[in-house]
């Protein structure tokens, strides 16, 4: 909201920040991000900073100040299960509510969705994905697989060239987020300086701490109307401690897999017991539901 005198055609001299913020409903999205994801303070802080930049840019336009559209293409780096896709979804909502994309939807793809297997197949495939993503956000997971330096005839380079053109010429209607492991993404950008120059925001997603993983386990269980007994909670925390030392750990994804297996054993335990079952029993995960996990068996790592 700003002051304006129609009788004298005087341009507004101030804008009500709180009013603009309320009308945009951006805070609701940021609050949902806090609720959806445990921890990730550096990531959430960066997303808030980007939202603040876009909000101020929007206010500058209302005051007829120079406000060329900022570059919004991003790179999300980190290990699996650290919330990259969830943050991308919330970012799409922020961009939509502030008027930077028309629809605010997220299209998540990998190399297989973009790159063809024979001559003449890649361009139509890539363009079809871009068509679906227009007006929103295109999220490309493991983006470094688009470029295979060892294969000069790899069709991924064609996809990259099409992406570069669209990212530059249609950046007011599409935001591209490239995601993957940090070291591989750095190699990818070094090999593709044109792509690197179009990425304005590099956001690194840290691994979760054991305490955060335990909080995630409780949150996931509660969302499915389960809870851990005291013994079950202690067993889950021990599972997390051991699982962190083993290969192929995938942060929140591994925790979800562990809870799914615990629910399966919980159901089999109740089935074997039979008889009358209380509501509390239907909701409570016990230590034996956790302790049977293969991660507690020596030299047999969990697959999740």
Q: Encode the chain (304 residues) as per-residue pLDDT tens digits.
A: 444 444 445 566 776 777 777 777 888 888 888 888 888 899 999 998 888 888 888 787 777 777 677 889 999 999 999 999 999 999 999 888 888 888 889 999 999 999 888 787 889 999 999 999 999 999 999 999 998 776 667 788 889 999 999 998 888 889 999 999 999 999 999 888 888 889 989 999 999 999 999 999 999 999 999 999 999 999 999 999 999 999 889 999 999 999 999 999 999 999 998 888 999 999 999 999 998 655 554 444 454 4
Do 244 and 138 sit in the same domain of this protein?
Answer: no
Distance of CA 182 to the CA centre of its chain: 15
We report the CATH number of the domain holding residue 215 as: 1.10.8.60
In DSSP terms, 57 is beta-bridged to none
Listed residues 172, 205, 238: the one ending a domain: 205
pLDDT at 20: 72
Distance CA 196, CA 163 (A): 12
Do 64 and 172 sit in the same domain of this protein?
Answer: yes
Do 52 and 201 sit in the same domain of this protein?
Answer: yes
Do 91 and 104 sit in the same domain of this protein?
Answer: yes
Q: Are 158 and 126 in contact (CB under 8 A)?
A: yes
User: Is the Cα dihedral 175, 179, 185, 186 positive or negative?
Assistant: positive
CA dist 161 to 85, 127, 146, 158, 201, Å?
A: 24, 11, 11, 5, 20
User: Is the Cα dihedral 92, 213, 252, 286 positive or negative?
Assistant: negative
**What six digits make up the tokens of 223?**
């969302």
Do 40 and 174 sit in the same domain of this protein?
Answer: yes
pLDDT at 301: 46
| First-to-last C-alpha distance (Å) of the chain | 51
State the number of CA atoms in the 13 A half-sphere of 132 facing the CB.
13
How many domains is the chain built from? Answer: 2
Do 103 and 247 sit in the same domain of this protein?
Answer: no
Do 175 and 273 sit in the same domain of this protein?
Answer: no
What are residue 137's phi and psi, to 5 degrees? -120, 130
pLDDT at 59: 80
Listed residues 205, 234, 269: the one ending a domain: 205
Do 130 and 270 sit in the same domain of this protein?
Answer: no
pLDDT at 298: 45
Residue 10 lies in a domain: no
We report the CATH number of the domain holding residue 77 as: 3.40.50.300
Range of the domain at 223: 210-296
Distance CA 12, CA 269 (A): 69
Residue 79 lies in a domain: yes
Listed residues 159, 190, 205: the one ending a domain: 205
Residue 58 lies in a domain: yes
Do 199 and 274 sit in the same domain of this protein?
Answer: no
Do 192 and 251 sit in the same domain of this protein?
Answer: no
Residue 9 lies in a domain: no
Do 198 and 214 sit in the same domain of this protein?
Answer: no
Q: Are 195 and 188 in contact (CB under 8 A)?
A: yes
Q: Tokens 């004298």 appear where?
A: 8
């Amino acid at each position: 909201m700003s002051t304006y005198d129609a009788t004298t055609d005087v341009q507004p001299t101030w804008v009500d920040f709180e009013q603009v913020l309320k009308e945009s409903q951006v805070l609701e999205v940021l609050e949902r991000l806090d609720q959806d994801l445990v921890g990730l303070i550096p990531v959430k802080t960066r997303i808030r900073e980007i939202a603040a930049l876009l909000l101020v840019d929007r206010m500058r336009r209302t005051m007829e100040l120079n406000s060329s559209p900022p570059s919004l293409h991003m790179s999300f780096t980190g290990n699996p299960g650290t919330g990259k896709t969830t943050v991308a979804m919330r970012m799409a909502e922020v961009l939509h509510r502030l008027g930077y994309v028309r629809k605010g939807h997220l299209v998540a793809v990998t190399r297989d969705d973009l790159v063809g297997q024979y001559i003449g197949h890649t361009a139509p495939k890539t363009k079809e994905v871009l068509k679906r993503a227009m007006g929103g956000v295109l999220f490309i997971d493991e983006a470094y697989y688009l470029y295979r330096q060892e294969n000069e005839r790899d069709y991924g380079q064609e996809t990259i060239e099409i992406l570069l053109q669209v990212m530059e010429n249609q950046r007011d209607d599409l935001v591209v987020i490239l995601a993957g492991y940090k070291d591989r993404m750095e190699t990818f950008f070094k090999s593709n300086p044109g792509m690197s120059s179009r990425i304005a925001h590099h956001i690194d997603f840290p691994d979760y701490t054991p305490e955060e993983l335990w909080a995630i386990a409780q949150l996931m269980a509660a969302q499915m109307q389960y809870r851990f007994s005291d013994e079950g909670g202690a067993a889950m925390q021990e599972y997390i401690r051991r699982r962190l030392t083993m290969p192929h750990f995938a942060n929140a994804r591994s925790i979800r897999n562990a809870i799914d297996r615990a629910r399966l054993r919980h159901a089999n335990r109740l089935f074997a017991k039979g008889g009358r079952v209380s509501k509390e029993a239907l909701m409570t995960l016990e230590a034996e539901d956790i302790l049977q996990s293969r991660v507690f068996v020596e030299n047999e790592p969990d697959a999740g």
